[in-house]
Amino acid sequence: MNKWKCDNCGYELDVNEPPEKCPSCDKTCEFREITNYVPKDFIPEDEQNGK
């Protein structure tokens, strides 16, 4: 199962494929897959503070 986020309202849902219409804002939106999303500035905990 994948995690998807609506580009319009930010609603997140766990489904294999995103719906055509967002269940939250009720609009036809783009959905981004965020299943394995890691922010560019993310620093793993074991690498923080010089560890």
Q: What is the pLDDT of residues 4-45, one digit of tens each?
A: 999 999 999 999 999 999 999 999 999 999 998 767 777 777
Query: How remote is the C-alpha of 6 from its chain's centroid?
Result: 8
Q: What pLDDT was estimated at residue 48?
A: 73
Q: What pLDDT was estimated at residue 27?
A: 96
CA distances from 28 to 16, 19, 33, 41, 48 (A): 18, 9, 16, 31, 41
Q: What pLDDT was estimated at residue 11?
A: 97
Q: How confident is the model at residue 50 (pLDDT cuts 50, 70, 90)?
A: low
How far apart, in whole angstroms, are the C-alpha atoms of residue 19 and residue 47?
Answer: 38
Q: Percent helix, strand and coil across the chain, each rounded to 5?
A: 10, 25, 60
| Placement of tokens 């489904």 in the chain | 15
pTM, to two decimals: 0.68
Q: What pLDDT was estimated at residue 41?
A: 76
